[in-house]
Amino acid sequence: MEATKGSKPLVAVQGLTFFRDSRAIFQDLSLSVAQGSVTAIMGGSGTGKTTLLSLIGGRLAPAQGTVEVAGELVPTLSRKALFALRRRMGMLFQSSALLTDLDVFENVAFPIREHTRLPEPIIRNLVLMKLELVGLRGARTLYPAELSGGMARRVALARALALDPLMVMYDEPFTGLDPISMAVIVKLIRELNDALGMTSIVVTHDVAEACSIADYIYLLGDGRVIAEGTPADMRKTTAPEVRQFMAGLPDGPVAFHYPAPEYVSDLTVGATV
């Protein structure tokens, strides 16, 4: 489990079970994220990857099992303690979730202004430093509506970094980006993780990008972990459901056809009625 450093994991999920309505999204799911690592959580659409981030961030509560972040049991925390913990985690939403009535500078300044009482010159410097990290110091006066998708995601990243978090959770950071923006985000996730001594959790279904930056990969399916390992392990594995996902094959254990009645009898029904 202790993939890279052998230290205590920053995030530990044990026996997690979660239902949405009456459908089980997770059943007895366990995984851990080592401190200082980039861990990718992969899986097809609808396997609950984003839900897992909501559970780690304490926005949803599990039916069973434990979610531990930095030694604290997330589902048992009071709202106040949960908010204190959230100040130490950054989250990057797929939609970037920038505040549309504020410009880039104020968006990055937002968490700093909300949580600290720093004088204006210091806030200015902090914000410009975060923007410099993502290469958008020159874009500080733009509004979210004027940004491209890739730029918006970088601003959201700068904002997630504003309070110097222990870890950052990325929800589908590569989706819907052109190749250049994608390469920028890939580079940023890895470099910021190492330079700032953070831990990163990347939820994605982009195999190539995940393999290029992750230290450890979990592959989810049917509400549990169906495979885990380093990118090299994952490529070598022969398990058919892993091979299908890693190589992007249209048919396999995950069937091409949605469950349906038998084809011929389904077609002949029309003739007999």
Residues that bind other proteins (CB under 8 A): 57, 59, 83-84, 86-87, 89-91, 93, 95, 97-100, 110-111, 114-115, 156, 159
Q: How far is the CB of 9 from other proteins (least distance, A)?
A: 21
Residue 59 or 187: the one with the smaller Cβ distance to other proteins is 59
Q: How far is the CB of 87 from other proteins (least distance, A)?
A: 5
CA pair distance 20, 54, nearest whole angstrom? 13
Q: How far is the CB of 83 from other proteins (least distance, A)?
A: 4
Residue 97 or 239: the one with the smaller Cβ distance to other proteins is 97
200 backbone dihedrals φ, ψ, rounded to 5°:
-125, 140
Residue 100 or 272: the one with the smaller Cβ distance to other proteins is 100
Residue 101 or 251: the one with the smaller Cβ distance to other proteins is 101
Q: How far is the CB of 20 from other proteins (least distance, A)?
A: 16
Residue 85 or 196: the one with the smaller Cβ distance to other proteins is 85
* CB neighbours of residue 85 within 10 Å: 17
The CA-atom distances, in angstroms, between 57 and each of 81, 213, 226 are: 12, 23, 23
Residue 83 or 122: the one with the smaller Cβ distance to other proteins is 83
Q: How far is the CB of 231 from other proteins (least distance, A)?
A: 28
Residue 60 or 239: the one with the smaller Cβ distance to other proteins is 60
Residue 86 or 140: the one with the smaller Cβ distance to other proteins is 86
* CB neighbours of residue 226 within 10 Å: 17
Q: How far is the CB of 85 from other proteins (least distance, A)?
A: 8
Q: How far is the CB of 139 from other proteins (least distance, A)?
A: 19
Q: How far is the CB of 90 from other proteins (least distance, A)?
A: 8
SS (H, E, C) the chain: CCCCCCCCCCEEEEEEEEEECCEEEEEEEEEEECCCCEEEEECCCCCCHHHHHHHHCCCCCCCEEEEEECCEEHHHCCHHHHHHHHCCEEEECCCCCCCCCCCHHHHHHHHHHHHCCCCHHHHHHHHHHHHHHCCCHHHCCCCHHHCCHHHHHHHHHHHHCCCCCCEEEEECCCCCCCHHHHHHHHHHHHHHHHHCCCEEEEEECCHHHHHHHCCEEEEEECCEEEEEECHHHHHHCCCHHHHHHHHCCCCCCCCCCCCCCCHHHHHHHHHHC
